[in-house]
Amino acid sequence: MAERERILIVDDETSIRKLLHQKLSRQGYHCEEAGSAEEALEKMRANPAELMILDIKMPGKSGIELLPEIKGKYADTAVIMATALTEAGIAIQCMKQGADDYICKPFNLEEIALSVDKTLEKRRLELQIREYQEHLQEKVDQQTKEIRRLFLGAIEALVFALEAKDEYTAGHSRRVTKIALAIGKEVGLPKDAIEDLRWGSLLHDVGKIAVDQSIQNKPSRLTSDEYQHIMIHAQVGAGIVKPVVNDRVVEMIEHHHDHYDGSGLHQTVAGEDIPLGARILAVADAFDAMTSDRPYRPAMTVEEALREIKRCVDTQFDPVVARAFLKISSSLPTVEGSQATASKTSKTRRVR
């Protein structure tokens, strides 16, 4: 409804302001007046109008000078320039600079009312379109997030199903995630990196879907070919999750078996060039693997596994990450409740 829209009439001539004020008030608009550019700015600061009728020629700051300032500060305020007939060229120039319309002096009050109605109607439509577009974008963003969440949830369920099939790996990804997140917090990762680490940890072994179960569950030492076959899971897993996670998570999964000193299988990077998430995952993954029973060996005790991590600092593991893990290891619920507590007698150190 037009009744609530406010119009600020800016003109140095009182009689013109009164004339426009009367006419537009009768049309149902709420009008205010300003006799100069400075007064107009003051009134806009206090309460921005939806429409400004702005005289081009005024003593002090002119309407032409005020126009860009108004459009810059109050983009949603429509502006109609008021000009003498002889200044039509200047008025057109103003339109190019963002004015919505112009009216010529001497005024035809009916034409002015028409211009005001038309300009405010155009403004209303523009605001509605913008609001619609913003909501549309918000809706698209929400749905994209939801699709991603559902897809990641499905992959996560697949990982848990894969693990559940095998008594030796049941719960591995969830435990690794708990440990990795605790390390991530200890080394001071920011919130978004923690979220990446959570997904990287939960999904790190999804590529095992491509691994031959008979090799994975082989109760004896693997041949070199068999070991190479198992290790493809890092690359395969990165490929599976690539369409729905960011590059940081993909790289984390791809490099989670990299050794800090570069001695891992088919390793392309070493040291700090291995993504930090992957270096964290490597420690968490190794600890949980060592403290869990495997077909070819019983679980190590927590103490043995911690000693093994310590022994591999600087070679297999990033020293900063490994030390952060060793520092927090006693307070990890996973450590207290891991399979290792039930297997205190193990002596085997082979980890797959």
Looking at the Cβ atoms of 7 and 245, the one nearer to Fe ion is 245
- HEC secondary structure over the chain: CHHHCEEEEECCCHHHHHHHHHHHHHCCCEEEEECCHHHHHHHHHHCCCCEEEEECCCCCCCHHHHHHHHHHHCCCCEEEEEEEHHHHHHHHHHHHCCCCEEEEECCCHHHHHHHHHHHHHHHHHHHHHHHHHHHHHHHHHHHHHHHHHHHHHHHHHHHHHHHHCCCCCCCHHHHHHHHHHHHHHHCCCCHHHHHHHHHHHHHCCHHHHHCCHHHHCCCCCCCHHHHHHHHHHHHHHHHHHCCCCCHHHHHHHHCCCCCCCCCCCCCCCCHHHCCHHHHHHHHHHHHHHHCCCECCECCCCHHHHHHHHHHCECCCECHHHHHHHHHHHHHCHHHHHCHHHHCCCCCCCCCC
Q: CB of 177: closest distance to Fe ion in angstroms?
A: 13
Of 232, 197, 192, nearest to 212 by C-alpha is 232
Residues 256-285 that bind Fe ion (CB under 5 A): none
- Least distance to Fe ion from the beta carbon of 144, Å? 29
> How far is the C-alpha of 27 from the C-alpha of 174, rounded, in Å?
69
Write the interaction track for Fe ion spanning residues 20-59; mark x where CB under 5 A is met and - where it is not. ----------------------------------------
Bridge partner residues of 51 (DSSP): 7, 78
Window 118-157: contact mask with Fe ion (x via CB under 5 A): ----------------------------------------
CB nearer Fe ion, residue 5 or residue 205: 205
Q: Compute the least distance from the CB of residue 207 to Fe ion, in Å.
A: 8
Contact string (CB under 5 A) for Fe ion, positions 194-213, x = contact: -----------x--------
Query: Distance between the two ends of the chain, CA-based, in angstroms?
Result: 73
| Smallest separation, CB 129 to Fe ion (Å) | 51
Q: Which is nearer to Fe ion, 101 or 254 (CB)?
A: 254
Residue position matching structure tokens 């070493």: 270
Contact (CB, 8 A) for 53 and 20: yes
Q: Which is nearer to Fe ion, 32 or 251 (CB)?
A: 251
| Comparison of 184 and 200: residue with beta carbon closer to Fe ion | 200
Minimum CB distance to Fe ion smaller for 17 or for 255? 255
CB nearer to Fe ion: give 148 or 165.
165
Nearer Cβ to Fe ion (184/264): 264
Q: How far is the CB of 146 from Fe ion (least distance, A)?
A: 29
CB of 221: closest distance to Fe ion in angstroms?
18
By CB under 5 A, the count of residues binding Fe ion is: 1
Least Å from the CB of residue 208 to Fe ion: 7
Shortest distance, position 205 Cβ to Fe ion, whole Å: 5
Residue number with the smallest Cβ distance to Fe ion: 205
Least distance from C-beta 330 to Fe ion, angstroms?
A: 25
Residue 196 vs 205, nearer CB to Fe ion: 205
Sites of contact with Fe ion (CB under 5 A): 205
